[in-house]
A = this chain, B = another copy of it.
Amino acid sequence: MKKLINDPNTVVEEMMEGIVQAYPQYVRKLEGFNVLVRADAPVNGKVALVSGGGSGHEPAHGGYVGKGMLDGAVAGAVFTSPTPDAIYEAIKAVNGGAGVLLVVKNYTGDVMNFDMAKEMAEMDGIKVDSVVVNDDVAVENSTWTTGRRGIAGTVFVHKIAGAAADKGMTLEEVKRVGEKVIANVRSMGMALTPCTVPAAGKPSFTLAENEMEIGIGIHGEPGTHRESVKAADEIADELLNKILADLPYESGDEVAVMVNGMGGTPLMELFVINRHVASVLKEKGIKVYRTFVGEYMTSLEMQGASITLLKLDDELKGLLDAPSDTIAFKDFGR
């Protein structure tokens, strides 16, 4: 295992310290917990958003803490759900009196632990609600999931529900907006190479020299199938076809596109993918309102990509374009 780390046992702690030392204007860490909250948390009177999950998906989720997105992000061990007590501490630290919305990716452990934390906070009289993101169209159930997995589309939930909260909407309204995003966002990914969890020391699966996995999850969970590596355009077609078949899309619809790198993929390749996505959508008369190309939801050093489409209406467009200011999300189009 070749990694720029000191010790698998302290890598998450050390990463958290490195983030806070780099970006104290955005985040502070809760003492004793791998939780990052807005430097100015709690924001009084605003609905607060808390998300999180296993580490290894950086810049998710700490990179999305800041104005117009998350108020808190909880980091578990690598590819491991955060504990209820850490989530509970995050909720308490960001609660500004208007309630807290939990944005949970659909993995059994995450859902369970966020639910327990919600109950703990409710016993303190904090109003808490949650939404569960399940944008991955690849498979219905998977290694750690009942139902569909939550992957890169989660970042659109952070952005848009975060904007709703920033505009002063109530917890009910922010939840409604979050669920509207979830109803309209679809993703699918693939990998050229596996990745190595530091504590394991070896890749969690292997792929032959000319093999790729289609529909893979962000922890290397099995996808739909393995096949020989094809041209980028054909790979993009495989992902897009499944995404486009999952919701009714009509000519004239508007979407936001995210072409997300899995951690080890050069930007060059993501842009080659985006070229084809743009051309397929154009052919179908689907209008691309905004595009985001980069690393948003990763799997350590895995090489691969996912494609996300979010169907937009006027409300979602407005909130997508609302200003945000976080470590990792760059606003566009203003």
Q: Which residues of A contact B (CB under 8 A)?
A: 2-7, 11, 14-19, 21-23, 25-26, 55-56, 58-59, 63, 192-193, 209-210, 212, 229, 231-233, 235, 257, 259, 263-275, 278-279, 288, 291-293, 295, 298, 300-301, 303-305, 327-328, 330, 332-333
Contact = CB atoms under 8 A, between A and B. Distances in A.
A244 to B, nearest CB: 18
3 smallest CB-CB distances across A and B, nearest first, come from: A18-B271, A18-B275, A4-B269
Contacts of A332: 23, 25-26
B263 A5 contact: no
A305 B4 contact: yes
A2 B271 contact: no
B56 A4 contact: no
Nearest to A17: B275
B210 A14 contact: no
A89 to B, nearest CB: 21
A292 to B, nearest CB: 8
A320 B14 CA distance: 27
Nearest to A25: B333
Contacts of A301: 264-266, 303
B15 A272 contact: yes
A58 B267 contact: yes
A298 B14 contact: no
Contacts of A271: 14-19, 22, 58
Given A2-B212, A4-B273, A293-B18, A58 B268 contact: yes
